[in-house]
Amino acid sequence: MRVRWSWQSFIMHAGAPWAVWLAVSVIIVSTAIQSFREIDEQFTDLVLTRREAIAQLTAVHLAEKFKNVEDVAVSLATRVRFRDLVAAGRWQDAMDIMRDVPGDLPIIERLLLADAAGTLRADIPAMPGVRGADLAYREWYQGLSAGRQTHVSSVFTRLVEPQLRVFTVSTWVRNAAGEIAGILVIQMRDEVLLDWIEVVDIGPDGFIYVVDARGQLAFHSKHPDRKDIVDLSKLAVVGKLQRGERGVEIGFDPQEGEDSIVAFASTPRYAWGVIVQQPVRSSGLAARDAQLWRLAVGYGVTLLLCAVAMYLVARIVRVRRRAEEDRQSKLELERHVVERTAQLAAANKELEAFSYSVSHDLRAPLRAIDGFSRIVIEDHGTHLGTEAIDYLGRVRTAAQRMGTQIDDLLELSRVGRAEMRRTDVDLSRLAHAVVEQLRVGEPGRLVDVTIAPALVGHGDERLLRLVLENLLGNAWKYTRLTAAARIDFSATPGEGETVYCVRDNGAGFDMTYVDKLFRPFQRLHRAEEFEGTGVGLAIVARVMARHGGRVWGQGDPGKGATFCFTLPRAVGARPGITDVTGVG
């Protein structure tokens, strides 16, 4: 309630100078109380709202991580060959298809394949003594049995050594008729999926932790390496999360032994929760209290010196303006976050639509073409001429080839979206591993392979392995018709980068068409001569683009080819090259 003072009537009736000072004091005290209240509300709201926003954004991002892993599980489970092998009960053959998945996706610790009753049939990496175990009691089986297509489990300690803390994402494997044939389970270590939380900036002495659907501690930024599973379901804030609540509050934390700001938010769809906590002493509330104390001192001095009062009033105006600017900045930041979240959601939907189209809309017609062509040959071949049977065989070959092209296109897409982890990579070791794999595939071939030792590159190991698999694989393939086949892998230091080259004395190519080499599905040799879809070099080019390097090729028909790529060296690093002689 505002009171309008009539200074002339007040002085006239008071008749004394102290009455004027009393009136001034009343005005100053009233203003001080109002200012105290506003500043207290503004500072408190700013501090609490920021922590609450961090908790909610972290929970949304965590839910997106879970959704991405679910998409991976569904994509793997709907592979046609894998699905058909599971439906036929060929468990190990089906799991062999997935043998490269843990290497391609480092977040995956293990893959398990169970039948529809929950009995473990195969696993990668294989662990002795666990196949045939009844795992129907596991939460992932119970969750799927409740009618879900996918399920994210709580944290638990796995059965096999080493006994790590893990959680699973599971999904049904259905046969071509849509009937349940098995269960695919992706097992991940909790800290691998959640380690990004460590870099979330909460403020001095602040920390963030995640609890699963059972209220168990899944990750704690202050204790990222904790191995035991701690049950926090008795904590009041965890109980609120399990009821689907979210918010922010201030209270005494018995574990930390001090008053703390606690913001909490649950992940949409997954019943996991995120808790952001910071001691009051190191938050903006301590600054608020100091500010209010200084304001009180200022108003006290104002009662004695009217001139100082004018200065303090101006200061209050500045504080209010600054608080309003901070509030506007926060609103603008929230708007940008909402826009960015919407953009990410739209991009994810486009990727999901693409994956669905490739996995279902494109593959289904191809399966039909191949299947019906086979049926016509088998059931009506005796009524058809040799030419008709040959045409149907060509139809089947084309359909199968297109299926392979679809797989290669998906691989090319994954290379462009895969998360990069740059380290120093032993390229000589990777090259030896690739060559050994090629020799296993064609045990009768004799190829003189020379790999320079101690070749080191700075980049993502999984993506660089793809580069070597494609370049060495091409050299191996195109020397197949060469009597004394030779392949060489070496490197030369350059200015700020290292040039790595794979040479062979195989079929080579015409440099007139060199511009087509690194385009998807562009081939310079007929499929009857050398198999392939023409995506390998496109993958190499995309990997090099992501590493900031280059790739090029030189060749001469019948005299071999040379493909070179560059990798920028890490700051302060020397080229990892010693002798260029090696053993094939």
Q: What is the pLDDT of residue 1?
A: 39
- Determine the pLDDT at residue 132: 87
User: Is residue 13 predicted with pLDDT exceeding 60?
Assistant: no
Output the pLDDT for position 10: 42
577 in Cβ contact with 452 (< 8 Å) = yes
Q: What is the arithmetic mean of pLDDT over 258-274? A: 86
- The CATH superfamily of 37-288 is PAS domain (3.30.450.20)
In this predicted structure, the answer to whether residue 169 has a pLDDT above a threshold of 90 is yes
Burial (CB < 10 A; 0-12, 13-18, 19+), residue 141, is: buried
Question: Domain-by-domain residue ranges, the chain?
Answer: 37-288, 305-416, 420-568
In the prediction, which pLDDT does 428 show? 94
Instruction: Please report which helix (H) or strand (E) contains residue 478, including its range.
Output: helix 461-478
Predicted confidence (pLDDT) at residue 486 exceeds the cutoff of 90 = yes
pLDDT classification of 7: cutoffs 50, 70, 90: very low
Under the banding of pLDDT at 50, 70 and 90, the label for residue 14 is very low
Angle, vertex CA 401, rays to CA 398 and CA 405, nearest 5: 135
Q: SS3 for 214-254, per residue?
A: CCEEEEECCCCCCCCCCECCCCHHHHHHHCCCCEEEEEEEC
CATH number for the region 420-568 comes to 3.30.565.10
- For the whole model, what pTM was predicted? 0.44
Do the domains 37-288 and 420-568 sit in the same CATH topology, yes or no? no
